[in-house]
C-alpha cells in the first residue's frame, strides 16, 4: 500500500495537528529532535514520557522504513521540554516532499525553537571512519537542483519569507557548542565537521556518483535531513544536524565492498549511546 500523496502544505492543516498534539501533553516543547536510522534510542532518554504513534496523529504521514519506530515522544531532557521523532519520512517512501517535512512545521506551531537532526550517512571523506560523527556545517541539495524543494508552491508568510537565506542554515553557535561538549566528554577524536549531500534514494550511490559528490565538496552522503533543515530555517528555528558515519562510500572499482542497510543499523547501535549522551548534554546547555 502506497502512502497517500498530497501536495503543498497548509498552515491550517499543520495547526490542527499541532493543537491536537498539545492537547495530549502537559508541556510545550522547546527542542525538537529527529532520530535517524538506528538512532531512535535518543527518545528513550526523555523523562515523563508521553508516546504517541504516528498512526494516531491527524494529518501525519507514516514511517515505512525498518529502523524507524514511527512514534512521537514528548518529555523532558535535562529539564528541557522536548519532542522527539522516532522515525522520519523520506522521498523514496513515495511522499511528496512537502509531506515529508510537515512534522517540522508542526514543531514550529507547538513552540519548538531549536531542532536537532541526526542521520546515518555514508562517508565520502577518506579521513572519516565508520562510527565517526560529523557536525554538518553545510549541505548540497541534489534533488533541489531539479526543483524538488519543500518550499515549492504557494508561500505561506505565516511560516516564513518566499526566498529564505540558506548560507546560515546550520547555526554556528550550536556547532561550536557541539564541539565543546564533545571535547569535554572525550569524543573529539571521532568528531568532524563537514558538508552533507542529500540524494533521493532508495538505491545507494554508484561509484561514479560518490566520486562526483566528493569533487563537489561533500564529506558525507545520505537520503534525509536537508529538506527538514530548509523548512526549519524557513520557519525561523535554529538547526543543529549530526551525521553518524555508518559506512564508507565505495569509491574504488576494484573494491568488493557493498553498502547495505543492515550495516547502517548495526553501526548506529554501536555508537548510538555516545551520540545520545552528546545530544543530551547539549540540550541541557541550549
Q: Mean per-residue pLDDT for 248-259?
A: 84
Q: Which residues pair with 82 in a beta bridge?
A: 31, 75
Work out how many domains the chain is built from and give that number: 1
For this structure, is 179 an active site residue? Answer: no
Dist. CA 123–CA 236, nearest whole Å: 30
Q: How many helices (H) and strands (E) does the chain have?
A: 8, 9
pLDDT digits 0-9 by tens, 270-281: 788 888 889 999
Annotated catalytic residue: which of 13, 59, 69, 92?
A: 92
Q: Which of 18, 120, 178, 191 is catalytic?
A: 120
Place of cell 499543520: 14
> What confidence tens digit (pLDDT) does each residue in 108-134 have?
999 999 999 999 999 999 999 999 999
Of the listed 90, 192, 227, 234, which one is catalytic?
Answer: 90
State yes or no: is 255 an active-site residue. no
Q: Does 46 reside within a domain?
A: yes
The verdict on whether 120 is a catalytic residue reads yes
Q: Does residue 176 lie in a domain region?
A: yes
Give the CA distances from residue 137 to residues 33, 197, 276, in Å, rounded to whole numbers and listed in that order. Answer: 18, 11, 20
The catalytic residue among 45, 81, 93, 191 is 93
- 4 lies in some domain: no
Is 68 designated active site? yes
Check residue 92 and report its DSSP letter: G
Q: Phi/psi class of residue 75: alpha, beta or left (left: φ > 0; alpha: ψ in -120 to 50)?
A: left
Active-site residue flag, 92: yes
CB 150 within 8 A of CB 231: yes
- 277 assigned to some structural domain: yes
**Active-site choice (247, 272, 281, 282):** 247
Residue pLDDT, tens place only, 69-89? 799 999 999 899 999 999 899
In a domain, 81, yes or no: yes
Domain boundaries, position 49: 11-283
Say which of 63, 125, 197, 224 is annotated catalytic: 224
Which three cell numbers mark 77? 531532557
Has residue 3 been placed in a domain?
no
What pLDDT score does 226 carry? 98
CA 174 to chain centre: 15
| Closest to 237 in 3D by CA, of 176, 159, 163 | 159
User: Which is catalytic among the residues 69, 148, 261, 263?
Assistant: 261
Task: Give the separation between CA 144 and CA 151, rounded to whole angstroms.
Answer: 10
Phi, psi of 191 (to 5 degrees): -105, 140
Residue 90 annotated as catalytic: yes
CB distance 3 to 93 below 8 Å: yes
Cα 18 vs. chain centroid, distance in angstroms? 19
Asked if the structure places residue 278 within a domain, the reply is yes
Q: What's the Rg (C-alpha) of the chain? A: 18
In a domain, 208, yes or no: yes
The confidence band for 62, taking pLDDT boundaries of 50, 70 and 90, is confident
Q: Which of 226, 259, 257, 227 is nearest to 243 (CA)?
A: 226
Active site residue 66: no
| CATH number of the domain within which 233 lies | 3.40.50.1580
Helix (H, G, I), strand (E, B) or coil at 17: helix
Amino acid at each position: 500500500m502506497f502512502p497517500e500523496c498530497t501536495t503543498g502544505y497548509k498552515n491550517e492543516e499543520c495547526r490542527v495537528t499541532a493543537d491536537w498534539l498539545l492537547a495530549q501533553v502537559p508541556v510545550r516543547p522547546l527542542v525538537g529532535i529527529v532520530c535517524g536510522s538506528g538512532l531512535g534510542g535518543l527518545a528513550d532518554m526523555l523523562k515523563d514520557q508521553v508516546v504517541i504513534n504516528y498512526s494516531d496523529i491527524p494529518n501525519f504521514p507514516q514511517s515505512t522504513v525498518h529502523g524507524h519506530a514511527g512514534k512521537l515522544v514528548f518529555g523532558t531532557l535535562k529539564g528541557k521540554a522536548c519532542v522527539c521523532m522516532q522515525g522520519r519520512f523520506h522521498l523514496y517512501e513515495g511522499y511528496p516532499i512537502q509531506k515529508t517535512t510537515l512534522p517540522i512545521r508542526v514543531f514550529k506551531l507547538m513552540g519548538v525553537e531549536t531542532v536537532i537532526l541526526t542521520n546515518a550517512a555514508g562517508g565520502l571523506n577518506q579521513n572519516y571512519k565508520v562510527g565517526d560523527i560529523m557536525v554538518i556545517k553545510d549541505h548540497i541539495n541534489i534533488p533541489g537542483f531539479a526543483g524538488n524543494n519543500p518550499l515549492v508552491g504557494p508561500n505561506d508568510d505565516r511560516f516564513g519569507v518566499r526566498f529564505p537565506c540558506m548560507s546560515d542554515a546550520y547555526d554556528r553557535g550550536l556547532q561550536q557548542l557541539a564541539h565543546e561538549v564533545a571535547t569535554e566528554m572525550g569524543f573529539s577524536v571521532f568528531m568532524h565537521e563537514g558538508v552533507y549531500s542529500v540524494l533521493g534514494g532508495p538505491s545507494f550511490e554508484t561509484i561514479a556518483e560518490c566520486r562526483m559528490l566528493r569533487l563537489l565538496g561533500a564529506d558525507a552522503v545520505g537520503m534525509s535531513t536537508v529538506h527538514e533543515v530548509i523548512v526549519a530555517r524557513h520557519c525561523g528555528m535554529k538547526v543543529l544536524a549530526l551525521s553518524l558515519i555508518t559506512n564508507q562510500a565505495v569509491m574504488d572499482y576494484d573494491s568488493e565492498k557493498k553498502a547495505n542497510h543492515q550495516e547502517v543499523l548495526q553501526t548506529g547501535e554501536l555508537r548510538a549511546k555516545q551520540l545520545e549522551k552528546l545530544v543530551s548534554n547539549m540540550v541541557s546547555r541550549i
